[in-house]
Structure 1
Amino acid sequence: MTSADPALTEPESLRTSLHRERAHHDRSRTALAAMVDGAQEQVVVGEDVSASGADAEVLGYQLRSQAKHMRELPEGPLFFGRLDFGRGAGDHSGQSYHIGRLRISEHPAAPPLVVDWRAPVSRAFYQASARDPQGVTVRRRFGWAAGSRGDSTDLTGLEDEHLESGESQVSDIVAREIERPRVGPMRDIAATIQPEQDDLVRGDLGVSVCVQGAPGTGKTAVGLHRAAYILYTHPQRIRRGGLLILGPNRTFLSYISQVLPALGESGVRQSTLQEEIAAHPFKGVDGERAAAVKHDARMAEVLRRALYARVSGSGVEAAVVVPDDSYRWRVGSGELLRIVEGVRREEPPYGIGRERVRMRVVRRIQEQAERRAGPQTNAWVQRISRARPVGAYVDAVWPRVRPEEVLAQLLTDSGTLAAAADGLLAEDEQRALLWAKPPRSWKSARWSAADLVLLDEVGGLIEHPEGYGHVVVDEAQDLSPMECRAIARRASFGSLTVLGDLAQGTTPWAARSWDTVLRHLGKPDAVVVPLTTGFRVPEAVVTLANRLLARLDVDVPAGHSLCRDGELRVRQAGADLPGAVVDAVRDALGREGSVGVVAADADVAGVAEALGAAGIATAGPDDLGARVTVVPATLVKGLEYDHVVAVEPAAIAEAEERGLHRLYVVLTRAVSRLDVVHGRPLPF
């Protein structure tokens, strides 16, 4: 902590303040190095601690994880802001706090040199205003050189806002940070979080929230910062349940992979839904009709019927007779039928239901034995439960089953499918589901991506999967009802942060309403919060996208942008479309920042070839550090480039059922400049 600096009114005062702040940064850097060394020293000391083997193992794991986390902190400036509190501000009266991405102190009991941006006191940095200063006299922002690795000499400027005197201004430092050219992975926004974003970030862990975010509003960044906030605020609860980030594909996950480590959180699972449910590699390919039916919510009931059709309590007439030394215990067929029907009415997971039947049969035998000879031991109960007649009966009425067996029979046997789908699926839908060439058994089946979702559904009916304490789901508008159910099973006792934009829904089953998505996710009461103010996509680009938005079949508010200095250029290519694309890319290379060339998937190879022939080096979407990237339209969702060259919008729009939605995504990937190159009439 330091005392507040005087107002900066003279150049000499500014130089003096910069000198002091650089010195504070050097001191913080030294303290951080000591914290890293201390974490490693704790590992060495912890290995010698006398404790039980289990306790020592847990302690060692925790200490090693902490040391690894400290060693892997990304380089960069250690603070980006400062709060000076006035007299009468309660516990913070007269204090100053530097705000950064993690807490730094010279000793655990000493006042911090840098306060974590997630700490309660830091909220005033994002929420205080001239109208509501919240006890803050001066809010200071620091300007760091682009790409700084944390050298104090890179601290090049500062900006003070005197809130106690009613001063309110648009921050040039924040504007420059938001508009800074983007090359490489996504950056964190801890220094530039806006009040409405901060409200979402610091929301209650127990409350699920859905963010309907227009392009450029930072919804993905908000979700990641909310994850970091939850990890900081509720470490014990999250350690028990875990936290999961779900993205649409690996390219997207690579793009966001550095955000949480930069915020001081490592080891968070970042995955796709396909990876989470991948019981088998998917090698099969569904036709459009089959895929649409498999992703339909009605399949949940079809699968439930197919699974429980294997339960047949009324089909077994004989009683269960169990020999026990000189006695023979008997449970009659009528009583057995009542047991099975009673368990069915309780609707437990299939695997639990099977064990309930076993234990209730054993309980009836135990009651007979206790009436005759008194209480029985646990060993006796276990022996009876393992008796062959009991096991044979349970196998007969409630057989053990694998998800693959259930689904394979459903997709190969028209009779089984007809019985399970009666009243749910039309005959043509059933025909679309049946395999044209059935495998010999489920072990040789070529499962499709949609089949994995169905297998997960059956698996969830048999045994509930382990869940997470919190799940962040990005690009959620593209999830099918069955995919939503797979996520719901993993968050049944936790909460969700759902991120998306209905206007960017591009799958055949993409949602038209968040109410539908949230119901299938098991969180129908989640609050839907719209973000409509963009900070990176230029106003000219947003205006163009809003023209297309009016043609999409979704009801979402139009976005607007605070970024006024971007550019939009529409190029009529005539017969030489490749030449016009080359010209647009060369113009973009004359400026700073990344260049994304986006085309319909079928046109990507030709575009890359034309650029290569012109001497322009290109890379694919997975090379995040490339200057020029050629991207298929189907992979560009969630990515951003300083300059985007959108190639032949008509081809993008015609390539798929929801092609206009795909085109809307393509047009909104630019954060500085958009070139639309076309030889055919534009769809908007």
Structure 2
Amino acid sequence: MNDPAELAREQAAVDGIYQVLDDARIRYRQRQRQIQAHGATGSPQNRSERDVMAAHLGDQAARLEQVEEHLVFGQLTPLQGENFYIGRVGLQDENHSQVLMDWRARAATPFYQATARHPLGMASRRHIGLHRRQVISLEDEAFDLSHARDKQIELQGEGALLAALQAGRSGHMGDIVATIQGEQDRIIRADTSQILVIQGGPGTGKTAVALHRAAFLLYEQAERLAKSGVLVVGPSSAFLRYIEQVLPALGETGVVSSTMATLLPGIHAEGKEHPKIATLKGDLRWVKLIKRAVRSLQRVPDDNQILLVGSSKLALRPKTVKEAIRRARLSGKPHNQAREIFVNYVLDSLTDQYLDTENRREEAELAAAASTAGLGEIEIDRDSLSERALVREDLRSNLNVRRAVNLCWLPYSAQNLLRRLYAYPAFLARFASEFNDTEQEILYRPKQAEFTPADVPLLDELAELLGDLPNSSSPSSQQASAFARKQEQSRAQAAIEGQGLGGGIVSAEILASRAGASAEQSSLAEMAYQDRTWTYGHVVVDEAQELSPMDWRSLLRRCPSRSFTVVGDLAQRISSGGSSWHQLLGPAADALEEEAYLTVCYRTPKEIMDLAEQVTTAAGRPSPYPVQAVRQDPNSLLTEKVVTIDAASVEQVLKEELDYLDTCLGKDRGRIALVCSQHDLVTFQHLSSQLPFKIGTDPINDRVCILDAVTAKGLEFDSVILLEPSHICAESVGNLFVAMTRPTRRLVTLHSQELPPGWK
């Protein structure tokens, strides 16, 4: 409905809401600057109070500065009472009247879930389309049973939804907050405390649903998640860049995003390896192997080790070492931290030996001197405590003692131990009794080889058992630092409680870090990303069907509460193993609380979806959860066979597709991906460099890019040009399914070899 009078009326309302937003932004920033102008003056408690308020105001302003686009997108009219507007955030005017309802509020639920059969107390719903701050369209739905229609697929806000789907791709995923459908909203608001699996085929919006669920939880469970944050794990860095604007546009910034390859601070596992090797590294048999390898760094000598200290000979006895190891292990600390307990016990024993030896020698010398001089017994006066401390420190710094202690309890880093396991087959064989000879052999690689993504959970397992290497700071300085931090946290917590800000996104821990660290390290996301042991309040895992059991161990370690949103599609799995989510979750399966299913494909035309499912079924991998597409386009499939795929054939197809998008979307709008197998990628990249078009490798910023099917996972394009699909199918049927279902408009297939079975 585009009645001018109605458009004008809604424009006035929208103008008023934007004015409230502008006023709030200005107010927060002005108050923040006023507080910061006081500088570092006053008592520590006063400074903490100012830091609390300044941080709170800054966070509120930043949140409102992210929600400019499509601030208002809906209106609900109850059967009784006044209508109200729905938007990205909740806003109140200066009289504390609600002018905009946050889409996550319970009162906003009918906007997404009300139907003619179940109106949820509503008379009607209006979708408001904005361009910048201008109202450009209105779409009304009356919840009147007399007008209810039987549809195969019930869509709410159909006009707004189709407009969003038909818009050109921008290189970044947009949020779907204005067009969330009923089945999606029920999943977003699902009341689960542990693992929720969202199974959804291509184009069902499963990634968007997972991200909006994260935003909903950050709103619904603000107090809990403010202190711990949310981790989003994606399949590739390109994918993370693709989705990076969604949560900030919903007003949420306390989120850490990572791939499995970058999960560990300081580790960027960019190496490549055969899928069979990666699968082997994901096996849970590594848990026992790694535990044995770490235990091997704790050794009891077969015989007494004679240590020369000055003119004294000390014996490091197996019995002493065995008892020291027992005590260190009982502490439950990681290997490198428990080593201090081991060292202290050994040093105490050696100190006793040294003092006993020196005492006997001194007594013998004095007795001999007294006898020669004709004197009686001579009493020795010692400051035993100070002498013992000096002897102990001398022993600690003695090279022979240090060497012997290290041989019994060797400090080690996770990286070096894993490299050693790979590079020395005999060393690996000592701990790999569950692995056969062939499996052990394919694990070999030289020490200087790059780590791969499959190495990350193994490094994480090692780091959990080893802990950090001993640092150079003294125990006293560590204690002083911990005490100072605790004091700062106490002052910050008192300030938060005193000013009634406990429900916000600022915690005492964050404020204490801001007081003692640089601004670059002050955000929750930065602190969490730099801390391997950080535990998150919630974790979102996308393309989860590809994770190994060892991957899941790493992720479970980061969320002890088991609060996960797990997203994926069994039909897109690269390997053929794993027929259910319960199987694929591995060690996380016991925390699986609910499986939800998205059944409607919004993105990909029906013709493309039907073809993709025909091909995968013919290959013996039918989709276990087929979806129903809402859009049809008889022109969405083009197939061209050539003698050979050369520069001329690719140039012709690409030119036609660029012209097609220019016609549909406007000049230079829309995005195209040339997708091929991993094996063909280098060849086709070289070929594309010969064309008179700019063809890049960045799916986010390049209008036309070339990439393999694995990198395309999770992304979407207006058009996809598929190069030699039989080669992709040979690598993985799942990869071919992914490649075929990336376009929102058209799939163009260019091939010189026979198409895979089922292609009609």
User: 2-side partners of 1:96 and 1:352: how far apart?
Assistant: 62
Equivalent in the alignment of 2:609: 542
User: 2-side partners of 1:342 and 1:158: how far apart?
Assistant: 72
- Report which stretch shifted further, 54-63 or 96-105: 54-63
Equivalent in the alignment of 1:18: 7
Q: 1:52 aligns with which of 16, 38, 46?
A: 46
User: Structure 1 counterpart of 2:675, which letter?
Assistant: V
Pairing 1:681–2:748 present = no
Deviation at 1:626, TM superposition (A): 4.4
Q: 2:427 aligns with which of 402, 407, 416?
A: 416
Query: Are the structure 2 counterparts of residues 488 and 522 from structure 1 closer, same or farther at C-alpha, using a change threshold of 3 Å?
Result: farther
Alignment of 1:97-496 (within 5 A): 97-107=84-94, 110-144=96-130, 148-151=131-134, 154-163=135-144, 167=148, 170=155, 171-184=157-170, 185-204=172-191, 206-277=193-264, 279-282=266-269, 286=273, 290-312=277-299, 337=322, 340-341=325-326, 344=329, 349-351=334-336, 354=339, 398-422=409-433, 424-435=434-445, 437=446, 439=447, 446-463=450-467, 465-496=533-564
Equivalent in the alignment of 2:705: 629
User: Structure 1 counterpart of 2:239, which letter?
Assistant: F
User: 1-side partners of 2:56 and 2:683: how far apart?
Assistant: 52
Look up the SS of the partner of 2:252 in the other structure.
Answer: coil
- Report which stretch shifted further, 128-137 or 392-401: 392-401
User: 2-side partners of 1:81 and 1:173: how far apart?
Assistant: 13
Aligned partners of 1:311 and 1:399 also within 8 Å = yes
Q: 2:567 aligns with which of 474, 499, 509?
A: 499
Look up the SS of the partner of 2:91 in the other structure.
Answer: coil
User: 1-side partners of 2:110 and 2:346: how far apart?
Assistant: 63
Q: 2:727 aligns with which of 643, 648, 651?
A: 651
1:41-62 superposed Cα distances (whole Å, 9 cap, x missing partner): 1212332676433443344333
TM-score, normalisation: structure 1: 0.81
User: Structure 1 counterpart of 2:219, which letter?
Assistant: Y
User: 2-side partners of 1:608 and 1:447: how far apart?
Assistant: 25
1:306-340 superposed Cα distances (whole Å, 9 cap, x missing partner): 0012234686879xxxxxxxxxxxx9987985675
Aligned partners of 2:207 and 2:567 also within 8 Å = yes
Equivalent in the alignment of 1:529: 596
Q: 1:596 aligns with which of 673, 677, 683?
A: 673
User: 2-side partners of 1:128 and 1:552: how far apart?
Assistant: 40
User: 2-side partners of 1:356 and 1:493: how far apart?
Assistant: 31
User: 1-side partners of 2:302 and 2:581: how far apart?
Assistant: 45
- Report which stretch shifted further, 233-242 or 220-229: 233-242
User: 2-side partners of 1:630 and 1:357: how far apart?
Assistant: 56
User: 2-side partners of 1:599 and 1:333: how far apart?
Assistant: 62
Look up the SS of the partner of 1:44 in the other structure.
Answer: helix
Query: Are the structure 2 counterparts of residues 521 and 394 from structure 1 closer, same or farther at C-alpha, using a change threshold of 3 Å?
Result: farther
Deviation at 1:231, TM superposition (A): 1.5
Deviation at 1:17, TM superposition (A): 2.3
1:529-586 superposed Cα distances (whole Å, 9 cap, x missing partner): 2222211111111111111232355772222212223644342423254455444431
User: 1-side partners of 2:638 and 2:608: how far apart?
Assistant: 11
User: Structure 1 counterpart of 2:584, which letter?
Assistant: V
Query: Are the structure 2 counterparts of residues 241 and 511 from structure 1 closer, same or farther at C-alpha, using a change threshold of 3 Å?
Result: farther
Aligned partners of 2:115 and 2:143 also within 8 Å = no
Aligned partners of 1:183 and 1:626 also within 8 Å = no
Query: Are the structure 2 counterparts of residues 666 and 44 from structure 1 closer, same or farther at C-alpha, using a change threshold of 3 Å?
Result: same
Query: Are the structure 2 counterparts of residues 566 and 630 from structure 1 closer, same or farther at C-alpha, using a change threshold of 3 Å?
Result: farther
1:100-136 superposed Cα distances (whole Å, 9 cap, x missing partner): 11122223x5222111111111111111122222111
Look up the SS of the partner of 2:159 in the other structure.
Answer: helix
The higher-RCO structure (CA 8 Å, 6+ apart) is 2
Aligned partners of 2:201 and 2:599 also within 8 Å = yes
- Report which stretch shifted further, 588-597 or 114-123: 588-597
Equivalent in the alignment of 1:85: 78
User: 2-side partners of 1:554 and 1:456: how far apart?
Assistant: 36
Equivalent in the alignment of 2:631: 563
Aligned partners of 2:300 and 2:318 also within 8 Å = no
Aligned partners of 1:214 and 1:559 also within 8 Å = yes
User: 2-side partners of 1:477 and 1:544: how far apart?
Assistant: 22
- Report which stretch shifted further, 567-576 or 131-140: 567-576
User: Structure 2 counterpart of 1:634, which letter?
Assistant: V
Equivalent in the alignment of 1:322: none
Aligned partners of 2:204 and 2:599 also within 8 Å = yes
Aligned partners of 1:22 and 1:155 also within 8 Å = no
User: Structure 2 counterpart of 1:150, which letter?
Assistant: R
TM-score, normalisation: structure 2: 0.73
User: Structure 1 counterpart of 2:104, which letter?
Assistant: R
User: Structure 1 counterpart of 2:70, which letter?
Assistant: P
Look up the SS of the partner of 1:591 in the other structure.
Answer: helix
Deviation at 1:346, TM superposition (A): 8.5
- Report which stretch shifted further, 348-357 or 460-469: 348-357
Query: Are the structure 2 counterparts of residues 388 and 307 from structure 1 closer, same or farther at C-alpha, using a change threshold of 3 Å?
Result: farther
Aligned partners of 1:131 and 1:166 also within 8 Å = no
In the alignment of these two chains, the number of paired residues is 625
User: 2-side partners of 1:350 and 1:262: how far apart?
Assistant: 44
User: 2-side partners of 1:625 and 1:446: how far apart?
Assistant: 28
Alignment of 1:602-613 (within 5 A): 603=680
User: 1-side partners of 2:622 and 2:580: how far apart?
Assistant: 7
User: 2-side partners of 1:608 and 1:136: how far apart?
Assistant: 55
- Report which stretch shifted further, 672-681 or 95-104: 672-681
Deviation at 1:278, TM superposition (A): 5.2
User: 2-side partners of 1:65 and 1:416: how far apart?
Assistant: 52
Deviation at 1:353, TM superposition (A): 5.0
Equivalent in the alignment of 2:734: 661
User: 2-side partners of 1:100 and 1:580: how far apart?
Assistant: 48
Aligned CA RMSD, in angstroms, stands at 3.8
Query: Are the structure 2 counterparts of residues 262 and 397 from structure 1 closer, same or farther at C-alpha, using a change threshold of 3 Å?
Result: same
Look up the SS of the partner of 1:62 in the other structure.
Answer: helix
Deviation at 1:78, TM superposition (A): 1.9
Look up the SS of the partner of 1:598 in the other structure.
Answer: strand
Query: Are the structure 2 counterparts of residues 575 and 466 from structure 1 closer, same or farther at C-alpha, using a change threshold of 3 Å?
Result: same
Q: What are structure 1's unaligned runs of at least 5 residues?
A: 1-7, 88-93, 319-330, 365-378
Aligned partners of 2:261 and 2:452 also within 8 Å = no
User: 1-side partners of 2:214 and 2:186: how far apart?
Assistant: 13
Look up the SS of the partner of 2:583 in the other structure.
Answer: helix
User: Structure 2 counterpart of 1:302, which letter?
Assistant: L
1:577-609 superposed Cα distances (whole Å, 9 cap, x missing partner): 445544443143343333323233455566567
Aligned partners of 1:487 and 1:521 also within 8 Å = no
Deviation at 1:466, TM superposition (A): 1.9
Query: Are the structure 2 counterparts of residues 17 and 545 from structure 1 closer, same or farther at C-alpha, using a change threshold of 3 Å?
Result: same
